[in-house]
Amino acid sequence: MLKTLPCGKKQSTQAHSGSKNQDWKVLLDRYLKEKGLRATRPREHVAEVAMSRETHFDIQSLIKEVRAIHPEISPATVYRSVNTLCEAGILTETLQSQGGVTLYESALEDHHDHIICVDCGIIFEFHDATVEKAQQKAIESQGFEEIRHRHVVYARCTQPKRI
């Protein structure tokens, strides 16, 4: 499935085989049971909205979307739920927006790095095995063992584009 970006590029929306898209419910349930936590309505609603996002989002926008449907859910609950979802391993912090706000995205997507166009602001995802492998080697030669990484390239579209 392809989506046309403002810069004229096409980007996979990562609809994948469709299996992962429901996995989070299983994983979340398992995590909650393990920890003796509860599957409450507000918590599940935040999870539903968060996991339906296709790309990076910040908590403020999540709060807006959640409260548009369930105005009784407080911002504090959204913050608390997002933390729980991160601990459950189905969400991860990714980038920091220019304003320094933390952005999140599903932890169940395949790993990818990011290219941000400084002209049109679009966030493009890429994965390159050579880069990953070279990085792995470099890290190990320094005596470290990689856990995860965040690789963001600020760039400019070089192809004809329509801003």
How far apart (Å, rounded) are the C-alpha atoms in residues 156 and 119? Answer: 6
59 binds, among DNA, a second copy, none (CB under 5 to 8 A by kind): DNA
Nearer to a second copy by Cβ, of 13 and 40: the residue is 13
Q: Which of 17, 19, 98, 100 binds DNA (CB under 7 A)?
A: 100
Helix (H) or strand (E) holding 12: strand 10-12
Q: Cα(1)–Cα(11) distance, rounded to whole angstroms? A: 8
The one of DNA, a second copy, none whose footprint includes residue 157, by CB under 5 to 8 A per kind, is a second copy
Q: Which amino acid type is present at position 25?
A: K
- Give long-range contacts, CB 8 A cutoff, 24+ apart: 32-39: 32/88, 37/84
- Can you give the binding site for a second copy, defined by CB under 8 A? 9, 96, 100-102, 115, 117-118, 124, 126, 128, 130-131, 134-135, 137-140, 142-159
Task: Between 72 and 145, name the residue whose CB sits nearer to DNA.
Answer: 72
The enclosing H or E element of 58 equals: strand 57-58
Q: Binding residues for DNA, per CB under 7 A?
A: 32, 36-43, 58-60, 70, 72-77, 79-81, 83, 100-102
